[in-house]
Amino acid sequence: MTNALFRSLIAACAALSVLLPAAAAAEPPAAPEALAAVHKAIGAGPSLGSLSLEGTTRRVIGDREMSGGLEIAIELPDRFLRVDEMGGADPGARMRRYTGVNGTEPLDGMSGGGGGMFVRMAGPPGAEQDPERMKAMQLRRAQREYARLLAVLIAGSSQSFPLEYRYIGEAVSDDGKAHVFEVTGPDGFSAQLFTDQATHLPLMLAFKDVAPVMRAMGPGPGGQRPSREEMERRVKEMQAAGPPPLSDIQLFVSDHREVDGVMLPTRVRRAVNGEVNEEWELTGIEVNPRFKAGTFSKK
């Protein structure tokens, strides 16, 4: 999909956000009825117990563009694992990044990479040296990522991080109309879910958060790997800079298709401050798969 179309989608959703206060002044339908229509359109009833999503990702990191494989395992209500695979054709050079949550236990790990790893800095400086603080930061990040994914995929919730949906009105743009729900949860969690007024399927989840900062720590353009001293220097620089400010982030979902009675998107796009920096293309979707033992264990 072209950058021009990406910008068009972002502009359309921005227009929905701008027009929301005026539209929300109208008398809204009862929240339970509006949310029930979304659940009916998606088909995510009590029989939905698990989801498996597989595909590819494309990310823009600074002046670099990376692509790789993506695997997501969801076992309702409280188990979630995301696996990102990055690297070239050589299996020995590929890196697998694991993030997720099992109840209240964060899942976080990395394997492979051949020395070409990336470091993600999304928390306060110094957290990496305090194991308990690091675990709390990982849990908070994983629970929020899982909650946002549940919201934009199935307007759902988890047991350990429950979400509440409140209908707040209608938003209008040149591209159509949307119903808008305020989504809230523990620890100040807040987002807005936009659903298509005609199909009742999710369109976008909008929220504010600290955008993860990723820095290449592996081989440079010439193929030379940095020394340990150089890597430590880069980490200290990132720690000293502190976390970036809150950003406006949108998760767009589109190209839904029915899988065993459940309507799920095959494209997901993430935009930060109006610029798309991540795109998923989901080519393998399973409803109610059985996961192997240990899938949601520590990595």
Q: What is the pLDDT of residue 134?
A: 86
Asked if residue 298 belongs to a domain, the reply is: no
Q: What's the average model confidence in pLDDT over 132-157? A: 94
Question: Residue 189: pLDDT band by 50, 70, 90 thresholds?
Answer: very high
Asked if residue 293 belongs to a domain, the reply is: no
- Residue 106: domain span: 3-287
DSSP letter string, 227-246? PHHHHHHHHHHHHHH-PPPE
DSSP letter string, 150-194? HHHHHS---SSS--EEEEEEEEEETTEEEEEEEEEETTTEEEEEE
Asked if residue 292 belongs to a domain, the reply is: no
Asked if residue 299 belongs to a domain, the reply is: no
Better pLDDT: 120 or 261: 261
Q: Give the highest mean pLDDT range of 10-19, 94-103, 113-122.
A: 94-103
What predicted TM-score, i.e. pTM, was given to this entire model? Answer: 0.81
Better pLDDT: 83 or 132: 83
**Domains in the chain: how many in total?**
1
Mean pLDDT of the chain: 82
200: left (phi over 0), alpha (psi -120 to 50) or beta: left
Q: What's the average model confidence in pLDDT over 273-293? A: 94
Q: What is the pLDDT of residue 92?
A: 57
Task: Name the least confident of 22-31, 98-107, 181-190.
Answer: 22-31
Q: What is the CATH number of the domain that holds 252?
A: 2.50.20
Asked if residue 179 belongs to a domain, the reply is: yes
Asked if residue 205 belongs to a domain, the reply is: yes
pLDDT tens digits for 215-267? Answer: 544 454 455 556 667 767 766 776 676 666 888 999 999 999 999 999 999 99
Percent of the chain residues past pLDDT 90, beyond the cut: 52
Q: What is the pLDDT of residue 22?
A: 47
Q: What's the average model confidence in pLDDT over 125-134? A: 68
pLDDT tens digits for 68-82? Answer: 999 999 999 999 999
Q: What is the pLDDT of residue 217?
A: 47
Contact 271, 252 (CB under 8 A): yes
Q: Indicate if the pLDDT at residue 288 is higher than 50.
A: yes
Contact 288, 49 (CB under 8 A): yes
Contact 48, 288 (CB under 8 A): yes
Cross-strand pairs, 104: none
Asked if residue 42 belongs to a domain, the reply is: yes
Contact 24, 180 (CB under 8 A): yes
Q: Indicate if the pLDDT at residue 101 is higher than 70.
A: yes
